[in-house]
Amino acid sequence: MKTVTDYFGSKVFDDRNMKSMLSADVYNSLKKTIDEGTELDIGVANAVAIAMKDWAVANGATHFTHWFQPLTGITAEKHDSFIAPSPDGGVIMEFSGKELIKGEPDASSFPSGGLRATFEARGYTAWDPTSYAFIKGKTLCIPTAFCSYSGHALDKKTPLLRSMEALNKQALRILRLFGNKSVKRVVSSVGPEQEYFLITKEVYDERPDLRFTGRTLFGAKAPKGQEMDDHYFGVIKPRVAAYMEELNDELWKLGILAKTEHNEVAPAQHELAPIYTTTNIATDHNQITMEIMQKVAAKHGLVCLLHEKPFAGVNGSGKHNNWSISTDAGQNLLSPGETPYENAQFLLFLCAVIKAVDDYQDLLRISVATAGNDHRLGANEAPPAVVSIFLGDELNSVLYAIESGTPYKSAKKTQMRLGVDVLPKFNRDTTDRNRTSPFAFTGNKFEFRMLGSSNSIACANIMLNSAVAESLRIYADRLEGAKDFEKALHDMIVKTIKDHKRIIFNGNGYDDSWIKEATKRGLLNYRTTADAIPHLLDKKNVDMLTSQGVFTKAEIKSRYEITLENYVKTVIIEANTMVSMAKTQIAPAVEAYCAEVAKSAAAKKALDSDLACAYESALVRKLSALTDTVYEKADELEDAVTGIDSNAEISKQANVIRDSVLVKMGELRAASDEAETLTAKDYWPFPTYADILFSVK
């Protein structure tokens, strides 16, 4: 029987395969490109292409594709076969370095945000040698960047790689100041925890809202939800366990370090967490993970829901982005060590993160802004829309001592006493975890908890890498010209703490009093996507992102356009779905039940004219009124959607969505959900929350 170690990475053209199939010279040249970012030689590319093709064909592949991440938020691929005609009428299997390095998919139907005209179809994909190629089905997938004919980035990977390079450049400047001359590269690493729901295919197929939008637009609260906290870390149901087992196998074959799985808080909700790895690879892996999760679910008669808020009244799904930075020698630059007070290098990198999060809190909020995530953030289950940092008691005390110039007394390790002699004794961590914080320090990394479950992690890490790179640039500029390095370093750390301590909050982020306090501190509170996205174009943000070489001004404007357009389109699809369901399913069902109740009351009176039938009469009146309200609110919602001026500036359309359409959607839902609680189950046209959330046995 094969073990995990036997088949882990079996579908990946990884370092093991490259080392065994490439000559030493070619392998060393490729590794230098991967590790140090040197230019790729075409001769090396040809040799790699031949080896990659031979490996892929030997593993059953017949086609190859440049696998990329356009601004749709999902991945894209165009398959070409390896076959080429041979003189004898047969075929041979070919793949060249040119085909490996560059592809040319049609770019005309991908979002561009005005970067190119619709009729301008040419686009290019370029191989990212830092991310391993892999086999999916019978296709060799080659991770690539995607750009327009004019060279503008049309994807999420290109700016991500640029942000990683910006961070590397500025971090190396800082390390050189501390006397470290041997480090050649600094990389950011990420481990994204992925939450999701599993429901049966049967109930999914009967819900138009789930099929069209990924979330339920109607649904009265089930008698039981997550009140008892009995699902969290509970026993995994056999059907779910079988799904998780196959999911792990498929991910492990692709070299994805799936590590942890468990039930989450809400019924039918679960989580998968990987070991963290280099950011661009983690981004690729998370996109693959979401795709594989849905494919494996289908094989088990299930549907994997990745929407941020598929069900009202229970927890939504997030994606916790565990972020850190380390050197090519393996040193984690956010590891405090045993004495963080004396670790000047750690403190400087910590301060760089604090400054970055405070200076660019708007960009971090923007990076997670979607129509789906708006339903989750601040809903007493996820971090609020206000960005803040949790550091914990020990680091907080360290920073206070530095700021105030007072001696720091290190907290002693407290041994946990569990009251049972047979249980092992262990030291308590010097800092707790804060699950209500949007950006929490967890020992040697930061956990950015605001991402939605369907988000690409690229966006958040682009902004995070760029903002920290900017802090490090400012520090390096000052320190490189300092006459007294140690004094300048100390003064700069103190100044950072004083200037940016407002962003540090160690309390309960769910408490309403925090939002009031955050406002007093001057922190931003962009509650919706429509509120947040326009600030992408703020001068300070454009200046930083362009100076770091992460985006051009045109690319920033395109992201503004695309994100708001996606927000508008998403909500319009939801609104149109609601109108259709309300008019063709819900209202007719309520009318039919109302007629049945009236008929029943009439039959009773026919038997005994003295019967008042008070309950039935009241119910008929109520159902009749609710039917009228459903039709009325559906008409109002339809009018609100058709009233959107498609020629108006996209931010104005988004404001109409926020201020009118979403309000009307809420009113229609309230009437429909009330009607559901009064309508007999046999008459209700689709599965209820109770049916869906407990559908997997």
Q: Which CATH class is domain 567-693?
A: mainly alpha
Return the higher-pLDDT residue of 42 and 292: 292
Contact 175, 183 (CB under 8 A): yes
Q: Is the pLDDT of residue 33 over 90?
A: no
DSSP 337-359: -S-GGG-HHHHHHHHHHHHHHHH
Answer whether 4-155 and 567-693 agree in fold: no
Q: Return the HEC string of 640-674.
A: HHHCCCCCCCHHHHHHHHHHHHHHHHHHHHHHHHH
Predicted local distance difference test score (pLDDT) of residue 411 = 59
Judged by average pLDDT, the poorest of 87-101, 114-128, 480-494 is: 114-128
Q: Is the pLDDT of residue 436 over 90?
A: no
Q: Which amino acid is at 658?
A: R
Average pLDDT over the chain, rounded to whole?
91
Maximum mean pLDDT: which of 379-388, 402-411, 562-571, 595-604: 562-571
Predicted local distance difference test score (pLDDT) of residue 613 = 75
Q: Is the pLDDT of residue 423 over 70?
A: no
Predicted local distance difference test score (pLDDT) of residue 603 = 84
Q: What is the CATH number of domain 163-215+235-412+429-551?
A: 3.30.590.10
Structural domain boundaries in the chain? 4-155, 163-215+235-412+429-551, 567-693
Q: Is the pLDDT of residue 112 over 70?
A: yes
What is the chain's alpha carbon radius of gyration, rounded to the nearest angstrom? 28
Predicted local distance difference test score (pLDDT) of residue 121 = 64
pLDDT tens sequence across 199-228: 999 999 999 999 999 999 999 999 888 877
Judged by average pLDDT, the poorest of 12-21, 86-95, 234-243, 315-324 is: 86-95
Per DSSP bridges, beta strands 258-263 and 446-448 are unpaired
Structure tokens at 309: 């808020």
Predicted local distance difference test score (pLDDT) of residue 117 = 64
Maximum mean pLDDT: which of 35-49, 85-99, 105-119: 35-49
| Confidence band for 75, pLDDT divided at 50, 70 and 90 | very high
- 4-155 adopts what CATH topology? Ubiquitin-like (UB roll) (3.10.20)
Mean pLDDT of 638-655: 96
Q: Pick from 185, 449, 169: which is nearest to 317 by CA?
A: 449
Predicted local distance difference test score (pLDDT) of residue 181 = 93
pLDDT tens sequence across 329-358: 999 999 988 777 678 899 999 999 999 999
Dist CA 394 CA 409 (whole Å): 10
Mean pLDDT of 641-653: 95
Predicted local distance difference test score (pLDDT) of residue 433 = 62
Predicted local distance difference test score (pLDDT) of residue 89 = 75
Q: Is the pLDDT of residue 418 over 50?
A: no
Predicted local distance difference test score (pLDDT) of residue 430 = 54
Q: Is the pLDDT of residue 94 over 70?
A: yes
Over pLDDT 70: what percentage of the chain? 94
| Confidence band for 579, pLDDT divided at 50, 70 and 90 | very high
Return the higher-pLDDT residue of 613 and 550: 550
pTM over 0.85: yes
Dist CA 293 CA 315 (whole Å): 20
- Residues near 30 by beta carbon (within 8 Å), at least 6 away in sequence: 18, 22, 40, 44, 48, 129
Predicted local distance difference test score (pLDDT) of residue 256 = 96
DSSP 269: E
pLDDT tens sequence across 475-527: 999 999 899 999 999 999 999 999 999 999 998 888 889 999 999 999 999 99
Alpha helices (runs of H) in 178-321, residue ranges in sequence order: 201-205, 208-213, 238-253, 279-299
| Confidence band for 55, pLDDT divided at 50, 70 and 90 | very high
Mean pLDDT of 67-90: 87
Judged by average pLDDT, the poorest of 34-38, 52-56, 202-206, 318-322 is: 34-38
